[in-house]
A and B are shown apart, each in its own frame.
Chain A
Amino acid sequence: MEVRVANVRKEFDRFPALHDVSLDIKSGELIALLGPSGSGKTTLLRLIAGLERPTRGKIFFGQEDASHRSIQERNVGFVFQHYALFRHMTVADNIGFGLKVRHGPSRPPAAEIRRRASELLDLVQLSGLEKRYPAQLSGGQRQRVALARAMAIEPKVLLLDEPFGALDAQVRRELRRWLREIHDRTGHTTVFVTHDQEEALELADRVVVMSQGRIEQVGSADEIYDTPNSPFVYSFIGESSTLPVKVEDGEIWIADRPIGLSAPHAPSGEAVLYFRPHDVELLDGCSGCIAGTVAASRRVAGTRRVELEIGGERQRVEIELPVDHPAAQKSRVAFRPRRWKLFPAA
């Protein structure tokens, strides 16, 4: 099922949580809504589910305008951040709930509901736990039950709100791989919300980066990382270092020195240079480079992070060196970013 979000605005008590957001989700796609807290990602997910109504704009399921359909009519599987399992029901009853509350002929007989529940428990690798109560399960197991429950109603779209947020790192990584497998096997159109970029980049076909109620960029993990289209995305995704620079005739300058990078199409004036700290080329001499005095040097796992003071204005910038690189011992380091991007000064 394709989902199309068209120019949606959502206000809570006049306070806008989303400004004019549009998004096309392809059928069978696994898509991540990524952003810091307050970026509107959960609001967007809840709007797609029908848990909230848009203030303006429309949401289409396929060709059909679903904006005014209730959550029951939309037939979406929603996995809540804290799972919202019914604590007084067994695992099997939780999973079967969506089938049990159906009316008339669409409601399967009790035995069939039980069978479906067992099947789904197999799918989420929890066979044999039918009789347990949610309180008797670990966080990871609850998460799986919540997913099985959402899938029991054969939803058109699967929506997950911070699905791994409450789990510890190891379980999280395991479940991530497992969710990808389930998705590939069942082919549900799936949207999940996360603030964890690693999760989004690893798991999703496409990542939607959001900030302050707006979509900043939509793209594959590679596109988002390699060609961020805004300072926000550049600094939010992965590590980044920035330096204030000046552009003159297509050449980039720091203070009174050109640094050997040219940006022929950039307008002259103040700008900010963005680059990845690990994606730099170390240089010996310095005619056209960025040079700085080592202010601090820290070993972080497999790399060494060096903080440099650049120029007369003592701008600090961080780069990453291999642990055993001789430059780490020097008091002065010269480098040039391999890949970088200029954004106009704010």
Chain B
Amino acid sequence: MADPVIKSYEPHHESRSAAVTESRPVQLLLMAVAFAFLAIFLLLPLIIVFHEALAKGFGAYTESLSNPDTRSAIRLTLLVAAIAVPLNVVFGISAAWAIAKFEFKGKAFLTTLIDLPFSVSPVISGLVYVLLFGAQGLFGEWLRAHGIQILFAVPGIVLATVFVTFPFVARELIPLMQEQGNGDEEAALSLGANGWQTFWYVTLPNVKWGLLYGVLLCNARSMGEFGAVSVVSGHIRGLTNTMPLHVEILYNEYNAVGAFAVASLLAGLALVTLVLKTLLEMRYGAEIAATRGH
């Protein structure tokens, strides 16, 4: 899995001297390779998604989207994102604050743990919950005795999604907060602000672009997560199917238009995320660069 928190590449044209600039043909070749790669592996699939979705006309497209099972999948996906993203914002800010602003035992361990979901296959992330909450799982009996359904229900899907997406906000904020240090907070305290005011007026504005960035990525991932959710969802139509799972079901039923119509929504989400991210960078590029210091 690619590391989604890699910082956007910032060219430094002015710092490059003529001596290290490649010759024109080499430049062209490099650009051609990059563009060809993007076209084949990114652009082409995207076009195909929309092409297939609209293969039988716009009517069939909207019709397959208004299918009740599809609607329920969309609703569930939105619900899961609406729970997972705020949770991860709270967790991300707390973790970043703890790691960046003070020293404690187990800090390195916590930092490593935050990266865990990136290094673990999403299927394993899902299986962990099966082992914990499944019928034969650690808490399975207790849960059944109390009539609590976690697996094959919304709570399980939310848990799996939170697990998979929790590094996004934290990883975005930690380097940012570490870079900024404690100076501004100390200044606010010395001026009489209490902890909450310091956070609200000083810390949060200092990291807001990084936070927004993290939220965008976190949201995109929580809506698009397949592996972990697939393991815990149980694939009950109209109940525990999220959009990515629904795409698979429809596709396996040879309902290409339906599958690609839902896929086009996910692709659309990805595009919107990309556009928002680019807009943010354009509009607030200087400010983002100033606060992140990369």
Interface flag for A84 (CB, 8 Å):
yes
Q: Is the CB of A80 within 8 A of B206?
A: no
A234 at the binding interface (Cβ < 8 Å): no
A179 to B205, CA, bound (A): 31
Residues from 146 to 169 in A contacting B, C-beta threshold 8 Å: 149-150, 152-153
Most buried by A among B187, B188, B191, B193: B191
A87 and B206 within 8 A (CB): yes
Q: Are the C-beta atoms of A84 and B186 separated by less than 8 Å?
A: yes
Residue in chain B with minimal CB distance to A76: B190
**CB of B288 to closest CB in A, whole Å:** 12
Q: Is B11 engaged at the interface, CB distance under 8 Å to the other chain? A: no
B202 at interface by CB-CB < 8 Å: yes
Contact yes or no, B186 A88, CB < 8 A: no
When C-beta atoms are compared, the residue in chain B nearest to A100 turns out to be B201
Chain A min CB distance to B201 (Å):
7
- 1/0 contact trace for A261-289 toward B, CB 8 Å? 00000000000000000000000000000
Tell me if A170 is interfacial: C-beta within 8 Å of chain B.
Answer: no
Indicate whether A84 sits within 8 Å of B206 (C-beta atoms), given known contacts A101-B192, A101-B193, A101-B194. Answer: no
Interface residues of B in 170-224 (CB under 8 A from A): 183-184, 186-194, 197, 201-202, 205-206
Check if A213 is an interface residue, CB within 8 A of chain B. no
Of all chain A residues, the one with the shortest Cβ separation from B189 is: A71
Assess whether B192 is in contact with A153, with CB atoms less than 8 Å apart: yes
- Whether A149 lies near B191 (C-beta < 8 A) is yes
Residues of A close to B188: CB separation below 8 A: 86, 97, 101
Complex interface residues of chain A between 83 and 129 (CB less than 8 A to chain B): 84-88, 97-98, 101-102
Residues of chain A within 8 A (CB-CB) of B111 are: none
Partner among B201, B206, B290, B291 whose Cβ is within 8 Å of the Cβ of A97: B201
Contact partner of B290 among A75, A85, A135, CB < 8 A?
A135
* Given contacts A80-B183, A80-B186, A98 and B206 within 8 Å (CB-CB): no
Encode A38-67 as 1/0 by CB contact (under 8 A) with B: 000000000001010000000000000000
Q: Contacts A51-B186, A80-B183: A98 and B290 contacting too (C-beta < 8 A)?
A: no
Contacts of B187 in A (CB 8 A): 78, 80, 84-86, 149
Measured CA separation A77–B186 after assembly (Å): 11
Residues from chain B with Cβ under 8 Å of A150 in the complex: 190-191
Total count of chain A residues near the partner, CB < 8 A: 25
The answer to whether A82 touches B183 (Cβ under 8 A) is: yes
In the complex, how many angstroms separate the beta carbon of B214 from the nearest chain A beta carbon?
Answer: 18
Closest to B180 in A: A87
Across-interface contacts of B197 in A (CB, < 8 A): 101
Q: Are B184 and A71 in contact (CB under 8 A)?
A: no
- Contact B205–A71 (Cβ < 8 Å): no
The reply on A72 being an interface residue by CB < 8 A is yes
CB of B190 within 8 A of CB of A86, answer no
A51-B186, A80-B183, A82-B183 as given contacts; A88 in contact with B206, CB under 8 Å: yes
* Identity of the chain A residue whose Cβ is nearest the Cβ of B286 in the assembled complex: A135
CA distance A153 to B187 in the complex (A): 12
Q: How far, in whole Å, are A335 and B188 apart by their CA atoms in the complex?
A: 58
Q: Are A98 and B191 in contact (CB under 8 A)?
A: yes
What are the residues of chain A within 8 A of B193 when measuring CB–CB? Answer: 72, 97-98, 101
Q: Are A84 and B183 in contact (CB under 8 A)?
A: yes
Q: Given the complex of chains A and B, what is the CA–CA distance between A82 and B179 in angstroms? A: 14
CB distance from B176 to the nearest CB of A (A): 13
Give chain A residues whose Cβ lies under 8 Å from the Cβ of B190. Answer: 49, 51, 71-72, 76-78, 150
Q: Are B202 and A86 in contact (CB under 8 A)?
A: yes
| Complex contacts, B189 vs chain A, CB 8 Å | 51, 70-72
B191 close to A84 (CB less than 8 A): no
Cβ–Cβ < 8 Å partners of B202 in chain A: 86
A114→B202 CA distance, assembly (Å): 19
A86-B202, A87-B290, A88-B205 in contact; A72/B194 too (CB < 8 A)? yes
B191 nearest CB neighbor, chain A only: A98
Minimal beta-carbon separation of B193 from chain A (angstroms): 4
Chain A minimum-CB-distance residue to B193 = A101
- The chain A residue with its CB closest to the CB of B190 is A78
**Alpha-carbon distance A77/B192, docked complex (angstroms):** 10
Q: A78-B187, A88-B205 are in contact. Are A72 and B290 (CB under 8 A)?
A: no
Contact mask for chain A residues 131-154; partner B; CB cutoff 8 A; 1 contact, 0 none = 000010000000000000110110
Candidates A80, A86, A88, A98; contact of B192 at CB < 8 Å:
A98
Smallest CB-CB separation from B184: which chain A residue? A84
Report the bound CA distance from A233 to B205 in whole Å.
Answer: 46
Residues of B within 8 A of A88 (CB): 205-206
A219 to chain B, nearest CB (A): 29
| A101 contact set on B, CB distance < 8 A | 188, 191-194, 197, 201
Q: What residue in chain B is nearest A73 (Cβ atoms)?
A: B192
Q: With the chains together, A75 CA to B205 CA distance in Å?
A: 25
Output the least CB separation between A158 and chain B (Å).
11
Residues of A within 8 A of B191 (CB): 97-98, 101, 149-150, 152-153
Q: Which residues of B contact A78 (CB under 8 A)?
A: 186-187, 190
A residues apposed to B, CB below 8 Å: 49, 51, 70-72, 75-78, 80, 82, 84-88, 97-98, 101-102, 135, 149-150, 152-153
Binding site for A on B (CB under 8 A): 183-184, 186-194, 197, 201-202, 205-206, 290-291
What would 15 more interface pairs be, CB under 8 Å, given A72-B189, A84-B183, A97-B191? A51-B190, A71-B186, A71-B189, A80-B183, A80-B187, A84-B186, A84-B187, A85-B187, A86-B202, A87-B206, A97-B201, A98-B191, A98-B193, A135-B290, A153-B191
Question: Nearest 8 CB-CB pairs, A to B?
Answer: A98-B191, A84-B187, A84-B183, A78-B190, A101-B193, A88-B205, A101-B197, A72-B192
Q: List 11 A-B contacts (CB under 8 A).
A: A71-B189, A72-B194, A78-B190, A80-B183, A84-B184, A86-B201, A87-B290, A101-B193, A102-B192, A149-B187, A153-B192
